[in-house]
Structure 1
Amino acid sequence: MEAEAQRAEKKRPGFRFWFSCRLLQGLGLVLCAAILGRSLYLQVVDHAKWKEIQIGQVQSVVAIPVYRGKIMDRRGQDLALSIKSPCLFADGALIQDPKSTAAQLASIVGEPADKIEQKLRQNKRFIRLRRDLSIEEAQRAMALKLPGIGVTSEWRRYYPFRHIGGHVIGFVGVDGVGLEGVEKAYDGLLRHSMRSTTALRDGGRRKIWLRDAPPPLPQERYSLQLALDGYLQSVAEQALQKAVKKHHAAAGQAILMDPQTFEVMALAVWPGFDPNNYVMHQPAEWRNRAIADAFEPGSSFKTFLLAAVLDAKSARPQDRIFCENGRIQVAAHTIRDVHPYGWLTVAEVLKVSSNIGALKLADTLGSERFYRYLDQFGFGKKTGVDLPGEISGTLRPLTSWRPIDLAVMAFGQGVTVTGLQLTSAVAAIANGGVMKTPRVAKAVLDASGRVVKEFGQDQGRRVLSSATAAKLRELMQGVVEPGGTGTKAALAQYTTAGKTGTAQVVEPETRRYSLDKYTSVFVGFAPVSHARLVMTVVIHEPQPEYYGGVVAAPVFRDVMEKALPYLGVLPDKKPRELPAAVRRVSTSSKRTTGEGVAMTSAEDGPVTVPNVQGLSLKAAVAVLKDFGLAVSPQGRGRVVRQHPMAGTSATKGTAVTIYLEEVL
């Protein structure tokens, strides 16, 4: 039986093989199903995760440098821009000998070696040691070949014209945040913010840029164009600085405004500062006095008294007032005029600036009406200019006025104003009686220079009737004519209107008027019939002369004589009103250059040298040629000086040397 079983087994030799094959096939199917299931899971269920890992292996995020937007003047001249600057840094993980490294870097960093050593011992991959290296300092640092020390580039703010317009433009801190001026007011618009993009990388983790996707270039944020005119700003600053130094004054300010749009075209403050090195100046020097300092306006405030009187019809320009021969008692106070006057018309009260005449006019007007007009003109309130740090000045509520207040406010005591408030109020008179909000910014531009937003002017509010404003302009014109207090502001070729002011300074310690400190003021505009510019000049504490007509008025004249021709404003004085030096321009046949300067053909005989200061070379040559004079130019830019001087007599063919400078 046993033998038969063995023989039967031999007859079935493929069973084990068959069974083994089936087993292997089953195991193979199970394995394939497992692989397929896993594959499906990875590709379907876990797809997002592995896709992210795959992208991370071949792509990387690249930061795109974005730098702070430019600030430009109205002609497109850069006033503030961002530039690359070397920065010294350390990789704390690679520093081998902090003490020796610090000792070698001390002269470059400008800090004690022990302080640098403390920084180097920090376990950080990036340790900033010093910003704003010079090229020479960066080369010295790299020449040391110190492990873990390197030089990279950062964006920093640069102000190419240094102190010019510094109080308006302001500056940014080391972190790129605006701290003063326009930089602060429009920080959200100008400030850089990092952007990013993706790039491919190879197995060595090096970035690969394809032809259709080149490396990203640094990008600029929006730029800001100001209403400020760089040339007018530099002219105003030069004239202001000259006056402050001449009169040994403590400070000064000068503001130029377009009365039609209320755009601030120049705002000069002295002492100035360089925003590139603002830390080298005292914080008090950063202050924009034109909006942050209030002062008593003195007799310049009589302008607004007359505006109220004429508009309310409480008196007429020809009405006569007895001025008490220069002395009057009001309550316990004695009010005096600089010169004793008897009978004066209302027009003459403004022209000679009689305090007694002013207080009598205020009495005819009454406190309530006077206060209402002052409030309409914006006194005691911020103008709303787009600059930080503006104050409101002081105009006490009508309910707190004492009997003496009406009298002294008539000639500018007991009330304080800012330079910009005073300029805006006079601009409303110059444009026919409409008050608007002053502006410094003009437009927002994108990186390609296209305007993306233009700051529109508000329609304004009427504060005077047009008839009253016209009559008041006529009275203000008398102030700069012979016999008035502002004759030193008169322009040779343009009709001019204005008002002087001289105010005692209130001592902050005693709250009493100083006996030897004054504020000198002149505010005016030209031409009278259609004012192109309004200007306020304030000189603080001049010595020894202090009258506004002597100290501040000449600054107005010096600036306006350059500004109006530069803006293409044609002379509007009649021939009999013009001095002999410029009468020829009005009486001869005229033509106009692209600069808008009137020119005539030369006449026979001696000629009077015309004033070409502020003109371009082309315009100056054309003017002098029409007068029969030759030209010898020196330099490039605009005319800042000339020889022979304007108004002198010269024979035909005389060469006039004109000195030109690249004035902002």
Structure 2
Amino acid sequence: MKWFLYRIKETILRTYHFISPFKDDRLNLFMLASLVVMVIYLIRLFSLGVFDGKKWISLVERQFQGCVRISSEKGEILDRNFTPLAVSEKVVSIYVRPPEIKDWLLFEKIVRGDNKVISEYAERKKSSPEKLLSLLSPLSSTITLSDLEAAFKKKYIVIRVDRKEKKIPFVWLKKGINCNVSDISKAISLALRIYYTLSGENRFDKRYPDLIGYVTEYKRVYPYAVASEVVGVTNAQGDGLSGLEYILEKKKIIAGNTIVLEGRKDARGKVYLGENAVKFLSKQKGNNVVTTIDGNLQYIFERIIKEYGEKWHPKFINAVLMDIHTGDVLAAASYPFYIYGEKKTKNFLSLLNPRFITEPYEPGSVMKPIVLAAALTEGVINVDSVISCPADYKVGDKVFHNEFHGKDVKIRAWEVIEYSDNVGIVRIAQKLGKERLYKYLKLFGFGNKTGIMLPGESPGFLKDWHKWRDVEFATIAFGHFISTTTLQLAAAYAALVNGGYYVKPRILKEIVDDKWNVIKKFPIKKKRIIPEKVSKTMRRVLTMVVEGGTGTATKMENFYIGGKTGTALVYDPKIKAYNKSKITASFVGAFPMTNPEYVLAVTVDEPKVPKNMLWASKIAVPIFRDLAERVLLYERVAPDRKSYTLLSNGTIISKEINTDFILKNGLADKQK
């Protein structure tokens, strides 16, 4: 070890003597130290410039450059008639900096318009107190004493900078005030002049001389106060929380462009924009969006389902009205819903839930027409095929019962739908087979999202046919072991009656600018899934449900209505079985049925009613009828069951039309 240290010492001395240019050792040591320092400096400089260069440049930019972000006005959300459903209203928000105000009592009196204080200032400036009070009134009439006390108590806001909390002397005094911006600006400027004059404080000595100030913002308002489940809401910052407000902002359709104005920052952090201020001219409002919703129909739907909801107290009531040819959703309501302007409670976000797309359920017998249409399309039966329906029919380890109270019957295929017979539809499904039934369920949209532009849509539940047990296959035929949403059912029934086309539901029609120039149209998307002949047949089959089956309460004097009821027991996890006191009641139908234009789907989940009311015919059908009547009246649809003629003497006569539309030679005809 000693030898090793000796060798190192000798090497250093030899090197030193070799490079020593001076005879004086002190000069040589100084030069050596200087070389060492220079080498260290060069290494550090290289490190800063090459390895850590980006880091330090970024730090400098943060210290000496700044920016101001300015969000533009959001676009409007309009109904199909261009009635505004959501618009941005320009408002003013006032802030105050309590720690910067030494004489808070004086400040309070100025803001509140104290006569004595204002008169004192007026006397100094030889001005009229009345004029000054008038100029201050936009401020004094808006800000209350409690607003001031709350701000004084809060004093700061706390922000995080580089993982450290920092107090900023800034408190919102009042947000979202509807007032004239010019008037509030003059009032705040006057209040500051009065304070600095009477308090004797020097504004140039303060870090934040704007003791009170304002910013202009945009508050979202909903003039028509309908369709909260569809339109949605925003938070206090204007960010979309639900519905179209959320999805359209996320897709940057209604959000105005955010302008970033860069400039130099002084030691106090204030940004000076300089020439960049001209970018203000490029600030643009977001685009407007025209929806398919009709505000008047939406109002009607919400009012009606609310009446039934308050009467029966269900988990929810869904109602969806759709144009069968375009897929336009004209009204979509889900009770309970949030009413714009009401106080926002803790659970108000749940009231914004569009359950017609987010809450799947077992639909029950409304699935039966889909099965029949598939069987007709595949040619395994025709509409008049006779189906043998024994009173008891065993599949696997399960016995199914027909609807004829212990009697073995033979009925036509269309009567299986009219009487909603479980055994009959199971036997039709068995003729069709698992694979083909699954194919048509998928074609009609089950097990898939509709793709409507609303957040949170559920695809429902449809297991692959390879995994169906025989009992499950049988129950799918009458709407169990499958779940769907109300919108999915509306779209499926539209395909049943519109000539055989599955039309993708849409909630948006077009995007327009402020001058109503169309920027983008949302196309109608459709594909044929059943032949037109089968679709025309299904119109007549569904009409028979109303004419003599489970939906007779829907029958109207002037119109043919067609549809299907569905009463599904609800599975109760507490008892691990279907609860006979809980149902989901549905009715899906179309009108006017000889040449249908609209499909309407109604779902009522777990209504609190007596046991003798636990049927779709008593729960969903009355709601459907009330809604359909008002749609026909509102749209002024010509009757397809009767025609009316006004005679010259003022007498109105009527006659039956389309009398051959009704199917005949069924069980009821035989009994006559």
Aligned to 2:240: 178
Aligned to 2:82: 76
Does 2:228 align with 1:160? no
Q: Report matched runs for 1:97-176 at 5 Å.
A: 108-109=146-147, 116-119=154-157, 124=168, 127-133=171-177, 148-162=211-225, 164-176=226-238
Aligned to 2:255: 191
Query: Among the aligned pairs, what percent are the same residue?
Result: 30
Change (3 A) 1:606 1:475: closer
Aligned to 2:590: 525
Shift of residue 125, structure 1, vs aligned partner: 7.1
Aligned to 1:248: 313
**For residues 550 and 315 of structure 2, what CA distance do their matches in structure 1 show?**
23
Aligned to 1:224: 289
Shift of residue 440, structure 1, vs aligned partner: 0.3
Shift of residue 101, structure 1, vs aligned partner: 7.6
Match of 1:309 among 375, 394, 404: 375
What letter is aligned with 1:547?
W
Answer yes or no: is the 8 Å Cα contact 1:90–1:120 preserved in 2. no
SS of 1:408's partner is helix
5+ residue gaps, structure 2? 1-66, 113-142, 160-165, 196-209, 263-271, 655-672
SS of 1:172's partner is coil
Match of 1:464 among 522, 530, 545: 530
What letter is aligned with 1:192?
G
Q: Report matched runs for 1:119-518 at 5 Å.
A: 119=157, 124=168, 127-133=171-177, 148-162=211-225, 164-187=226-249, 188-195=252-259, 220-275=285-340, 279-280=344-345, 282=347, 283-325=349-391, 327-340=392-405, 341=407, 342-458=409-525, 460-481=526-547, 483-518=548-583
Aligned to 1:557: 625
Which string of whole-angstrom CA distances, capped at 9 and with x for unpartnered residues, describes residues 61-95 of structure 1? 99877211000000010000001223121246743
Match of 1:567 among 603, 615, 635: 635
Change (3 A) 1:114 1:127: closer
Change (3 A) 1:120 1:470: closer
SS of 1:157's partner is strand
Change (3 A) 1:406 1:207: closer
What letter is aligned with 1:79?
L
**For residues 274 and 66 of structure 1, what CA distance do their matches in structure 2 show?**
27
Answer yes or no: is the 8 Å Cα contact 2:74–2:285 preserved in 1. yes
Task: Please identify, of 298-307 and 216-225, the stretch whose mean Cα deviation from structure 2 is larger.
Answer: 216-225
Q: How large is the Cα RMSD of the aligned pairs?
A: 3.7
Shift of residue 472, structure 1, vs aligned partner: 1.3
Shift of residue 370, structure 1, vs aligned partner: 1.0
Task: Please identify, of 556-565 and 499-508, the stretch whose mean Cα deviation from structure 2 is larger.
Answer: 556-565
Shift of residue 295, structure 1, vs aligned partner: 0.5
Shift of residue 508, structure 1, vs aligned partner: 3.9
Shift of residue 332, structure 1, vs aligned partner: 2.5
Which string of whole-angstrom CA distances, capped at 9 and with x for unpartnered residues, describes residues 178-219 of structure 1? 221111121111113344899xxxxxxx999xxxx9x96985
Answer yes or no: is the 8 Å Cα contact 1:93–1:124 preserved in 2. no
Shift of residue 245, structure 1, vs aligned partner: 2.7
Task: Give TM-score scaled by structure 1 length.
Answer: 0.70
**For residues 150 and 524 of structure 1, what CA distance do their matches in structure 2 show?**
59
**For residues 154 and 379 of structure 2, what CA distance do their matches in structure 1 show?**
75
SS of 1:412's partner is coil
Which string of whole-angstrom CA distances, capped at 9 and with x for unpartnered residues, describes residues 208-249 of structure 1? 9xxxx9x96985321000011111111111222222233332
**For residues 77 and 321 of structure 1, what CA distance do their matches in structure 2 show?**
52
What letter is aligned with 1:424?
A
SS of 1:587's partner is strand
Answer yes or no: is the 8 Å Cα contact 1:102–1:117 preserved in 2. no
SS of 2:442's partner is helix
Aligned to 1:546: 614
Change (3 A) 1:555 1:245: same
Which string of whole-angstrom CA distances, capped at 9 and with x for unpartnered residues, describes residues 454-512 of structure 1? 11112x2211111111111111111110x211112223322211111000111244542
Answer yes or no: is the 8 Å Cα contact 1:70–1:190 preserved in 2. yes
Answer yes or no: is the 8 Å Cα contact 1:445–1:451 preserved in 2. yes
Which string of whole-angstrom CA distances, capped at 9 and with x for unpartnered residues, describes residues 378-402 of structure 1? 1111111111110100001112111
Task: Please identify, of 399-408 and 340-349, the stretch whose mean Cα deviation from structure 2 is larger.
Answer: 340-349
Shift of residue 106, structure 1, vs aligned partner: 8.8
Change (3 A) 1:603 1:493: farther
Shift of residue 323, structure 1, vs aligned partner: 2.3
**For residues 491 and 240 of structure 1, what CA distance do their matches in structure 2 show?**
20
SS of 2:86's partner is strand
SS of 2:253's partner is helix
Shift of residue 453, structure 1, vs aligned partner: 1.4
**For residues 318 and 124 of structure 1, what CA distance do their matches in structure 2 show?**
80
Aligned to 1:90: 96
Change (3 A) 1:195 1:448: farther
Which string of whole-angstrom CA distances, capped at 9 and with x for unpartnered residues, describes residues 574-622 of structure 1? x3xxxxxxxxxx231xxxxxxxxxxx468557999xxxxxxxxxxxxxx
**For residues 102 and 286 of structure 1, what CA distance do their matches in structure 2 show?**
41
What letter is aligned with 2:299?
S
Answer yes or no: is the 8 Å Cα contact 1:298–1:501 preserved in 2. yes
Answer yes or no: is the 8 Å Cα contact 1:247–1:551 preserved in 2. no
Shift of residue 96, structure 1, vs aligned partner: 2.6
Which string of whole-angstrom CA distances, capped at 9 and with x for unpartnered residues, describes residues 493-551 of structure 1? 22211111000111244542112110110001112232211110001112122311221
**For residues 245 and 340 of structure 2, what CA distance do their matches in structure 1 show?**
11
**For residues 302 and 508 of structure 2, what CA distance do their matches in structure 1 show?**
20
What letter is aligned with 1:289?
R
Task: Give TM-score scaled by structure 2 length.
Answer: 0.69
Shift of residue 322, structure 1, vs aligned partner: 2.8
Answer yes or no: is the 8 Å Cα contact 2:497–2:538 preserved in 1. no
**For residues 628 and 590 of structure 2, what CA distance do their matches in structure 1 show?**
9
Answer yes or no: is the 8 Å Cα contact 1:65–1:217 preserved in 2. no
Structure with more of its chain in helix, by fraction: 2
Answer yes or no: is the 8 Å Cα contact 1:102–1:116 preserved in 2. no
Shift of residue 128, structure 1, vs aligned partner: 3.4
Shift of residue 377, structure 1, vs aligned partner: 1.1
What letter is aligned with 2:414?
A
**For residues 175 and 241 of structure 2, what CA distance do their matches in structure 1 show?**
19
